[in-house]
Amino acid sequence: MNPQPPLFTELPHDATTTASTSHLRLMTFNAQHAAAERAWRQAAWLGRQPDADIVVLTEVGPGPGGHALLDALGHHGYTHLYAPQPDQPDYRTVIASRGTPLSPVSTGIDVLTHRAPAAELHLGGQPLRLLGLYVPSRGPKEHRNEAKRAFQHAVAQALPGFLAAFDGPVIVTGDLNVIEPGHLPHYPVFGRWEYDFYRTFTDIGLTDAYRALHPGTPGHSWYGRGGNGYRFDHTFLTADRLDLTSCAYLHVPRREGLSDHAAMTVATALTPASP
């Protein structure tokens, strides 16, 4: 097995796309606990995407496939990685950058912290903060929803302080394993507590990037075995401090067998800071 990578690292690379120095080009991508061969294909695909200067990867496995993914990202232009280690084998969230360095940021989230890394970066001379989230699934029936409820509660408790501690732009993105109120189609399996978690972000003043630009489009990012669509992957941001220019779901990764999720892209310009 490959050795555990450090929390923050810089890697040699073979970059194919130049990162923007003035605009945020962000991609959220569920790695679906890929084995090594698929992990290398994932990194190669990400490295070719013009809207993937910063990547938040969810469901990164704890074994050889996860280590291979981090190695492969370095070879495809992502020279800066934030890859927190779980205390016990578990999926984690990874933030990768092919341009600007990443600095650690405290989140206040005290449950499954390896699923909720946050980093500060600078674009166009301005700082911004990015929080990546991977909410647990419902889990086995003997522990149904225990980890999911605990993690969602910890995030909801910490978010107001996370925003209050920083005056600049903030982005929160990841696979939340919940759908929005009013989701089409409606799925009765989701409880009020799950819809309340979605509302946590909008209630504290964050904007749902996809819904802001596509108010009438379902925007499914994951499909069940029966073909039913779910919008599980989300990006929320401080819209008053970021000029949101585009947000979309890319289904190529699903169709090419790289993941069972669509990738989510967000592009913004930074709003000049007030004097």
Residue 3: the pLDDT is 37
Residue 174: the pLDDT is 98
Residue 222: the pLDDT is 97
Residue 275 lies inside a defined structural domain of this protein: no
Give the chain's domain count: 1
Residue 206: the pLDDT is 98
CATH for 58 = 3.60.10.10
Residue 16: the pLDDT is 62
Q: Please, how many CA atoms are within 13 Å of residue 86, restricted to the half-sphere of its CB? A: 18
Question: β-strand 229-230 against 233-237: which pairing, if any?
Answer: unpaired
Which residue numbers in the chain have pLDDT < 70? 1-16, 141-142, 272-275
CB 148 within 8 A of CB 133: no
* pTM to 2 decimal places: 0.92
Angle of the 36-47 helix axis to the 64-75 helix axis, nearest 10 = 30
CA torsion, ordered 143, 33, 259, 209, to nearest 10 deg: 70
Residue 3 lies inside a defined structural domain of this protein: no
Residue 273: the pLDDT is 60
Positive or negative, the CA dihedral 99, 89, 149, 184 is: positive
What is the span of the domain harbouring residue 158?
A: 8-270
Residue 138: the pLDDT is 82
Residue 228 lies inside a defined structural domain of this protein: yes
Residue 177 lies inside a defined structural domain of this protein: yes
Residue 272: the pLDDT is 67
Residue 113 lies inside a defined structural domain of this protein: yes
The model's pLDDT over 6-31, given as tens digits with 9 standing for 90+, comes to 454 544 545 567 888 778 999 999 99
Residue 223 lies inside a defined structural domain of this protein: yes
Residue 143: the pLDDT is 76
Residue 274: the pLDDT is 53
Residue 1 lies inside a defined structural domain of this protein: no
